[in-house]
Amino acid sequence: MTTARTSDLWWKNAVIYCLDVETFLDWDGDGIGDLRGLTERVDYLAGIGVSCLWLMPFQPSPNRDDGYDITDFYGVDPRLGSPGDFVSLIRTAKDRGMRVIIDLVVNHTSDQHPWFREARSSPDNRFRDFYVWRDRPTRTKKASIVFPDAEDSIWAWDDKAEQYFLHAFYSHQPDLNIGNQRVRDEIAKIAGYWLALGVDGFRVDAVPFLIDTSQIGDVDLDPHEILRQLRSFISRRQGDGVLLGEVNLPPEQLIDFFGGTEADEVNLLFNFNLMQAIWLSLARQDAAPIAEALEKTIAVSEDCQYANFLRNHDELTLDKLTDKERQEVFDAFGPDEDMQLFGRGLRRRLPSMLDGDPQRIRLAYSLLFSLPGTPVLFYGEEIGMGENLAIDGRLSVRTPMQWTDEQNGGFSKARPSRLRRPVVDGRFGPLAVNVAQQRRDPESLLSWMERLIRRRRETPELGWGSWKGLRTNVSSVLAHRCDWEGRAVVAVHNLGDQPCGVRVKLGDVPEGATLDDLLDERGALREIQDGSLELKMDGYGFRWFRLTTPDQHTPP
Ligand code: BGC
């Protein structure tokens, strides 16, 4: 399993963990998490089996979009530490065998960025064409407004410039002019800078917006050429540097962002479609939506892979479901208006959506880690943190990490009023949910998650293999199989709350093969009869098996 190829394409069997430095651990006691605090917790993350950190933006920013509005692409927000602290973090992570990727937010800058300040000052300014200007805006279709709570157009008037400027997101985030070669050179320089400081790649923010040239005017450039150029730049600087793209588009459109069969654009793409299907399946207790989404997920070339997630830092978007389907998920998991956002998503975390049901929560994570692709966790998922709905909008899920049951959940020694953001209170708050307590308990979610992650990393078929859905005779049961280099893994999930007996048609089975139970600690071997597996499943039960023949070496 460990060959030159598998270690170069490390992202195919990675476990990625997304976090925001400012809410992870506050080391200097000012109420804001910092790089020093995160560095102190690298061993914790390595210990649970995380193999790649994804850092949300930590550059200087007025923080009007929680750091996704940057004023210096080459800096570190002084509240979080210094460039030296950043390098220490990278050094520590590498020492523990961990990769680090960072957000590359270059669709736009903050309106406080020196480039924009200069650009506004005069039409002749050398930064004027770093942005996209118009004398008269065109009307914006409602569907293209990303933040309908705050904006009604993608054009905003600037008094100083006496022109309108383009902004796909908030009007304080002017879009960079990607049609301008100088801007593209600068983006490469930014990526090169962070690679030189030791990062292993980037989560590329808002990719379809970044490469969209339709509003720019006279640009003779294939939008995908922008990604190809970025990809080849990264590969020249660092062969195994990765690009993980945020592209929330229908499955058939994703393939272009991988670069089709050439595989010369991004390496990883979040599977927003599968994520939304998982929530619909959970709501209906029916395997069909996931099975259909898997069928629609187009197989990609060997260098590429989908990244799976159940929850990210934004609203849990359900925009690809029909209105009726979305309503079903709202009714099941976020019925109050205050739990919903932008009419398309939820601002809750998974454990509260699943009403704290430990078995159902484990079922959801077993799905995340066994569906084909690279799993991505959002900090705090490993212990089952909830949200704080008293915090506005998408920020309800970006509360401080819960380390202990002490004040501020052990996140900071500062007075609670000085915290970057309040902690969660109540049922999912630090008194009930924290790392310290769960470390001591072998039955806790954290201890279970550690075992699950270990098993996932030992099961490369899931990240590398080709997948197919398997036929079962029970509608609440999803069964799928991943094949890779003569090996195969079968996973079975009961989305229903009732126990059931199920028959799973396994497909091709080598002579004399048995099934080795990968999650059951007893490691029981099961017989296969007539190419089928008969199983008794608990309500919300889940099982993983490896098809094993007597001559194979498989992990214990
Ligand atoms: C990020 C958001 C951010 C937006 C603008 C997104 O896609 O995930 O958190 O607000 O880009 O940068």
For residue range 49-58, list pLDDT tens digits in order.
999 999 999 9
Distance CA 533, CA 81 (A): 55
Would the CB of 325 count as within 6 Å of ligand 1? no
Q: Residue 553: pLDDT band by 50, 70, 90 thresholds?
A: low
**Mean pLDDT for the stretch of residues 137-161:** 93
Would the CB of 315 count as within 6 Å of ligand 1? no
Q: Residue 198's pLDDT is what?
A: 98
Q: Which residue has the tokens 């089709």?
A: 260
Would the CB of 461 count as within 6 Å of ligand 1? no
Q: Residue 554: pLDDT band by 50, 70, 90 thresholds?
A: low
Give pLDDT tens digits for 378-398: 999 999 999 999 999 999 999
Q: Residue 520: pLDDT band by 50, 70, 90 thresholds?
A: confident
Classify residue 223 by burial, with Cβ atoms within 10 Å: 0-12, 13-18, 19+.
middle
Q: Residue 511's pLDDT is what?
A: 85
Q: Residue 156: pLDDT band by 50, 70, 90 thresholds?
A: very high
Q: Which of 42-51, 190-199, 528-537 has the lowest mean pLDDT?
A: 528-537
Distances in Å between the Cα of 489 and the Cα atoms of 461, 462, 469, 474 are: 7, 7, 12, 20
Would the CB of 68 count as within 6 Å of ligand 1? yes
Q: Residue 218: pLDDT band by 50, 70, 90 thresholds?
A: confident
**Mean pLDDT for the stretch of residues 123-131:** 98
Q: Residue 1's pLDDT is what?
A: 61
Check: CB of residue 66 under 8 Å from CB of residue 19.
Answer: no
pLDDT surpassing 70 at residue 255: yes
pLDDT surpassing 80 at residue 523: no
pLDDT surpassing 70 at residue 532: yes
Count of beta carbons in the 10 Å neighbourhood of residue 357? 14
Give pLDDT tens digits for 404-440: 999 999 999 999 999 999 999 999 999 999 999 999 9
User: How far, in Å, is the centroid of ligand 1 from the Cα of 339?
Assistant: 19
**Mean pLDDT for the stretch of residues 283-290:** 98
- The best mutation among 172, 207, 314 to test binding of ligand 1, ranked by most ligand atoms within 8 Å of the C-beta, falls on 314
Specify the long-range contacts of residues 231-237, CB closer than 8 Å, at least 24 apart. Answer: 231/259, 231/264, 231/265, 231/266, 232/264, 233/188, 233/191, 233/192, 234/191, 234/195, 234/201, 234/202, 237/191, 237/192, 237/195, 237/196
Report which DSSP code applies to 27: S
Radius of gyration (C-alpha) of the chain in whole angstroms: 24
Classify residue 486 by burial, with Cβ atoms within 10 Å: 0-12, 13-18, 19+.
exposed
Token pair listed for 486: 């003569």
Question: In this structure, which topology does domain 10-105+181-456 adopt according to CATH?
Answer: TIM Barrel (3.20.20)
Give pLDDT tens digits for 128-143: 999 999 999 988 888 8
Distance CA 527, CA 105 (A): 52
Query: Greatest CA separation found in the chain?
Result: 77
pLDDT surpassing 80 at residue 555: no
Average pLDDT, the chain: 96
**Mean pLDDT for the stretch of residues 59-82:** 98
Q: φ and ψ at 187, to 5 degrees?
A: -65, -45
User: How far, in Å, is the centroid of ligand 1 from the Cα of 32?
Assistant: 21
Count of beta carbons in the 10 Å neighbourhood of residue 185? 12
| Cβ neighbours of residue 64 closer than 8 Å, sequence gap 6 or more | 110, 170, 172
- The best mutation among 70, 205, 207, 272 to test binding of ligand 1, ranked by most ligand atoms within 8 Å of the C-beta, falls on 205
pTM of the model: 0.97
* Vertex 497: Cα angle to 493 and 502 (nearest 5): 45
Region 114-166: CATH code: 3.90.400.10
Question: In this structure, which topology does domain 466-548 adopt according to CATH?
Answer: Immunoglobulin-like (2.60.40)
Token pair listed for 229: 């150029």
Q: What are the b/e assignments for 64-86, b being 16+ CB within 10 Å?
A: ebbbbbbbebeebbebbbeeebb
Q: Residue 521's pLDDT is what?
A: 60
Q: Residue 522's pLDDT is what?
A: 58
**Mean pLDDT for the stretch of residues 488-507:** 97
List the chain domain ranges: 10-105+181-456, 114-166, 466-548
